[in-house]
Chains A and B, each alone.
Chain A
C-alpha cells in the first residue's frame, strides 16, 4: 500500500508549519525530540523520511497527534487529484505513454509546491464528476421517461399505419373505389396525428430544457448512492455495524451537505432496523410466509414500518423474492424516499398520482391497505401494493405535533389477476388517463 508513505512525504512541511505557529526555534524543537537542528532542518524540507518513533517524539513536542503530522488536512485533496488522474485517460481508449501519464508518485511534491493549482484541479474534478452524474441522469431519463416513450409509441403507430396504407394504395392496382376512399381518409387522419405528436414532443423538450439546469437534488443523490449499492447496506448486517458517518465518509456521490444529512438519518434508521430484525431469521420467516408484510410482521412480532423497509432493502437474488419497491411520504404527501421497481413509474420531482394507495393510507392511518394497481404506461402493468400509515418515529406524545408517515410496498401482481384493479399513473403531467377523476392538471400526452 503506497498511500501512507506518499502522504508522509509532506510530513516535514507540516512539522515546520506547526513549529512556526508555536513560535518555536528549530534548535528548541530538535532538542525536545532528541535530534540535531541540522537533521530537523532536512526533515522540515522533506528531504529526510521520518521514522515512526521520531514522528511520535515530534508530535508530542508539538502537542498534536502523530496522524496530524503524517496525514495532514490534504487527504481530500489527494483523493480528488487521484480521481482526476484516474479519469484523465481511460486506458482502453488509448494506451498512455509513460512520460505522458500523471506522475502519481510525485503527487505530494505537486501539492507541496503548487497547493493553489492542486486545489483548482481537484475542484475541477469534483465539478466534472457532478456534471457526469447529470448526464447519466438525462440518459436514464431518455430511456425511461413515460412521456417520451408514449410519444415514441404515437409516432410509431402513425408511421406504421401510414406506411401500410400508402403501400396498399400504391401496390393494389385493382382497388375498389370505396377502399381507396377509406385508405385516403386514413392517410389524412394519421398525418394530422403525426404532426400533433411532433408538436407535443417539441413543446415538452422546450420545457424540459427550461426546467432543469441545476444538479441533482439531495434526495436524488441519496437514492443514486443507495441504488449503486443495490439498496442493501451489507455492513449493517454484521455483528459490529459501523456508524452511519463511516459509510457516508466514503460516498463521493453524496456531494452536498444536505444529501449527507439525509443519508445520515436514513442510515441510522436502516441500522436500527437491521438490529431489530436481523437478516437471517427475517429471511427464514420470509421463506415461510412469502412477501406479505402483515403476516411477516405478526410472525416476527415487529411493527409494520420496519418490516416494509427491510423487505425493500433485502440483498439481491434471494430465491423466490421478487424485486420489491418502496415509496415513503410524509404528512404533506411529499415523497421522501423512492426505491424504484421496474415498470412502476415514479415521478422525479413533481407530486405523484393521488390515486396511489399510499395516499389512501395517509388518510386512513393504522389501517393496512392491500390493492392491486394498474400503472398507466407504455405497457400496462399490474402491481400488488401494501400501504400503511402511522405516526413517524417513536411513540407519539401529547406534546407537540404528531407527524404521520405513509409507506407503500410495490410487488409484482400475482398471475392472472381477476380482481378489481385501481387505475393509477405516475404523475398527471405524464399520465395518459384522460378521464381520471384524480386529475389535477392537463397531461402532456395527446389524448387517445
Chain B
C-alpha cells in the first residue's frame, strides 16, 4: 500500500471536510463515510490503515461500530481514533471499555487530529500489537 489510507466516519459534512483537508495535506488519502450503518462494510471493503470514528452517528453509534469491529476477527486489529465530546466523562469511559485505540475530544486543534492519527497508525516494530488508549493521545 503506497498511500496511507484512513476512513473517516463522521456525519457532520463540514467537520469531515475540514479533517479531510488537514490530513490530505499531510499525505493521507481520506475516505469519508457519513452513515454509521454502512461503516463496518466500508472498513471491510477498504481495509484502511486506521479509522477515525465519531461517537455520535445516525444509524449506528460509534460504540456499536467499534464493538462490531473488535468482534470481527479479520478487522479487530484496525487502530481506531474515536472522536468524543469534551467533558462527557461517561462517553469516554464507554469508549475505553469498547476498545478504542485512542480518543480525541471535540472541539480539537487541527494539529492534534494529525498527531493522534499518526501515533496510532505508526507501524510498530516487532509485532502487530495495537497501542492502547492509555498510551496515545489521552484526551489531547
Question: Which residues of A does B touch, CB under 8 Å?
Answer: 152-153, 156-157, 159-165, 167-168, 171-172, 179, 182-183, 186, 189-190, 378-382, 415-416, 448
Contacts and interface: CB of A to CB of B under 8 A. Distances in A.
A118 to B, nearest CB: 45
B25 to A, nearest CB: 8
Given A159-B106, A168-B110, A380-B64, 5 more contacts: A153-B56, A160-B108, A161-B18, A186-B18, A415-B67
Given A153-B56, A164-B19, A379-B61, A171 B110 contact: yes
A378 B56 CA distance: 7
A161 B12 contact: yes
Contacts, number: 70
B18 A380 contact: no
Contacts of A183: 18, 21
Interface of B: 12, 14-15, 17-19, 21-22, 25, 36, 55-61, 63-64, 67-68, 71, 85-86, 106-110
13 contacts: A156-B86, A161-B12, A163-B108, A164-B22, A164-B107, A165-B18, A168-B18, A172-B25, A183-B21, A186-B17, A378-B56, A379-B55, A380-B64
Contact of A164 (B15, B63, B64, B86): B15
Given A152-B85, A189-B14, A160 B107 contact: yes
A271 B6 CA distance: 58
B18 A164 contact: yes
B59 A380 contact: yes
A113 to B, nearest CB: 52
Contacts of A380: 36, 57-61, 64
A179 B22 CA distance: 12
B107 A163 contact: yes
A160 B109 contact: no
A160 B57 contact: no
Contacts of A156: 85-86, 106-107
Contacts of B110: 164, 167-168, 171
Contacts of B106: 156-157, 159-160
B56 A379 contact: yes
A415 to B, nearest CB: 7
A379 B58 CA distance: 8
Contacts of B108: 160, 163-164
A358 to B, nearest CB: 24
A380 to B, nearest CB: 5
A423 B138 CA distance: 35
A190 B21 contact: no
Contacts of B58: 380, 448
Contact of B14 (A161, A381, A416): A161
Contacts of B19: 164
Contacts of A165: 14, 18
B107 A159 contact: yes
Nearest to B106: A160
Residue of B14, B60, B68, B109 with most partner-chain A CB within 10 A: B14
B55 to A, nearest CB: 7
Nearest to A193: B14
Nearest to B108: A160
A190 B14 contact: yes
A283 B140 CA distance: 47
Nearest to A163: B107
Contacts of B85: 152-153, 156
B98 to A, nearest CB: 12
Interface centre among A168, A171, A379, by most chain B C-beta atoms within 10 angstroms, is A379
A142 B108 CA distance: 25
